[in-house]
Amino acid sequence: MNRLKKTTLSIAAIATPIFTQAADPNVILIVVDDMGWKDLQIYGSDFHKTPAIDQLAADGVLFTDAYAACTVSSPTRASLMTGKYPAKLHLTDWIEGWKMPEAKLQVPDWTMYLPAKEITMADLFKRAGYKTIHIGKWHLGENPEYWPENNGFDVNIGGWSKGSPFKNEKEGYNGYFTPYGNPRLKDGPQGEYLTERLASEACNFIGTSTSQPFFLNLWFYNVHTPLQAKQNKIDYYAKLSDDSNLQKNPVYAAMVEHVDDAVKRVINVLKEKGLYDNTLIILTSDNGGLIGRGKNKITNNTPLRSGKGDIYEGGVRVPLIIKNLHQQQKGEVNHSPVISIDFLPTLVDMVRLPATREERKDFDGVSLKSLLTGKTKKLKRDAIFWHYPHYHIEGATPYSAVRYGDWKLINTFEENKYELYNLKEDIGERKDVASQNPGITKKLTKELDKWRKNMKAQMPTVNPNVKSK
């Protein structure tokens, strides 16, 4: 089985030796599902209350121009784990995906699981002697063979095929409230809220992990639909909500606060155990915020355009806070474009994870160490890319895109159309300047074509079942 590739590496093949475990830092990767760039107070929300996460930013580096590897969940999560673009993995849509047989283009048969041959972040931590635990959402394969316990994690609590809490009134499952219907999470007492439960599991794990370095993969189901929160929090925000707020959904706001409460609990237990200074914490989202439709508005990503599923900034720009070891670069703000494929190379570099030279060469991301240690303010990398050969239920059609400096080029496939935006001058992507900048458009088109070829990116084809007008 391909999985053997993870277990048969010789010590001689490892580029960096395993070192004294007592000096090893702990690492926590927090992913908040569907959290938009504007959903945190520190990023400008005028409605949501997030004091704990804001304090985490004050202790670390806040990135203004951070991106998810995809505009939907599963591809970004696979990229986080592997350091590779979704296009290279051929895992380019959320697992299951949207079925749109009447669409103009026929989408490719993408990979609906994290392939067993891939070396994951958890594999490398385990190779280095870390305790590894996954808590929360996984969404990287239908069958248990693709779940966390078979991808480098010693323990899996709550991670399975579903991308959102299982709500089925007929079967008695209640989404964010127990019973959960989750085969990797035992039901709690009546009234238990999922995010609080996951925080408790994380705190219990940290409390018993003081003698060995650990990697905690804490992936909350919040703030993904179904929108559910404790009533006291909903009532609080309902009283605050009015037309002056850009964001005004009281249930969603309550769900954001539940995440903040959970982060506070995790930070408090780290401090109680004397582990906070020696713990590197990454907090981010897997895609942009879900706007919702009609009267069912969920969040607002203004000044960014659009939301989840779309290649405009609202769909792909995300919050990113990294708290470095011993609070290096405390309170810094960084404007360098970074993307979620960068996290694994960063951890290999900073934590000295024992990846082989071949494994390092296969990373698409780059290390952020120089930014996190204050050596530089800007990465040398020229461009970052996206590829989504699919349709999204919120309206997006298949596309690729590249950001190069302040420029962003979008290629939509139905009409083979190109749009160009200058994000420094037009963060809301309101003015397409492709026709005024033919040289830039041509250059970035070549860069995008070259990248797709190198990635062996799957492309949609004309749907033979749809007659052209």
What per-residue confidence (pLDDT) applies to 168?
81
- Domain final residue, candidates 312, 347, 379: 379
Look at residue 180 and tell me if it is in a domain.
yes
CATH of the domain at 429: 3.30.1120.10
Q: Are residues 120 and 258 in the same domain?
A: yes
User: Percent of the chain beyond pLDDT 70?
Assistant: 95
Q: Are residues 374 and 399 in the same domain?
A: no
CA 215/CA 22 separation, integer angstroms:
14
Look at residue 324 and tell me if it is in a domain.
yes
3 confidence band (pLDDT: 50, 70, 90): very low
Q: Are residues 352 and 390 in the same domain?
A: no
Within 13 Å, how many C-alpha atoms sit on residue 355's CB side? 26
- Domain final residue, candidates 326, 353, 379: 379
Look at residue 298 and tell me if it is in a domain.
yes
CA 159/CA 174 separation, integer angstroms:
17
Provide the residue range defining the domain that includes 195: 21-379
Beta strand spans in 235-301 (E): 279-285, 292-293, 296-297
Look at residue 299 and tell me if it is in a domain.
yes
Look at residue 2 and tell me if it is in a domain.
no
Q: Are residues 300 and 339 in the same domain?
A: yes
Q: Which residues make beta-bridge pairs with 156?
A: 134
Q: Are residues 397 and 285 in the same domain?
A: no
Residues recorded for the chain: 469
CA 448/CA 452 separation, integer angstroms:
6
265 burial type by CB count under 10 A (0-12 exposed, 13-18 middle, 19+ buried): middle
Return the structure tokens found at 92: 């380019």
Each residue's pLDDT tens digit, 30-44: 999 999 999 999 999
Average pLDDT of the segment spanning 179-186:
95
What per-residue confidence (pLDDT) applies to 19?
35
Higher pLDDT pick, 197 / 466: 197
CATH of the domain at 58: 3.40.720.10
Look at residue 137 and tell me if it is in a domain.
yes
Higher pLDDT pick, 293 / 401: 401
CB atoms < 10 A from the CB of 15, how many? 14
- Domain final residue, candidates 364, 379, 394: 379
pTM: 0.94
Respond yes or no on whether the N-terminal peptide bond of residue 179 is cis (omega within 30° of 0). yes
Residue keyed to tokens 């992913």: 31
Each residue's pLDDT tens digit, 192-225: 999 999 999 999 999 998 889 999 999 999 999 9
Judge contact between 5 and 342, C-beta under 8 A. no
Look at residue 224 and tell me if it is in a domain.
yes
Q: Are residues 175 and 71 in the same domain?
A: yes
CA 315/CA 318 separation, integer angstroms:
8
Q: Are residues 297 and 334 in the same domain?
A: yes
What per-residue confidence (pLDDT) applies to 18?
37
Each residue's pLDDT tens digit, 233-275: 999 999 998 888 899 999 999 999 999 999 999 999 999 999 9
* Radius of gyration over every alpha carbon of the chain, rounded to an integer in angstroms: 21
Q: Which residues make beta-bridge pairs with 146?
A: none
Each residue's pLDDT tens digit, 267-301: 999 999 999 999 999 999 999 999 998 778 999 99
Average pLDDT of the segment spanning 441-458:
98
Q: Are residues 319 and 341 in the same domain?
A: yes
Q: Which residues make beta-bridge pairs with 401?
A: 386, 410
Look at residue 266 and tell me if it is in a domain.
yes
328 confidence band (pLDDT: 50, 70, 90): confident
Q: Are residues 352 and 446 in the same domain?
A: no
Q: Are residues 372 and 405 in the same domain?
A: no
Domain count, the chain: 2
Amino acid type, 154: D
453's CB contacts (< 8 A; 6+ apart) are none
Whether the per-residue pLDDT at 5 is higher than 70: the answer is no
Q: Are residues 245 and 155 in the same domain?
A: yes
Q: Are residues 305 and 169 in the same domain?
A: yes
Whether the per-residue pLDDT at 8 is higher than 50: the answer is no
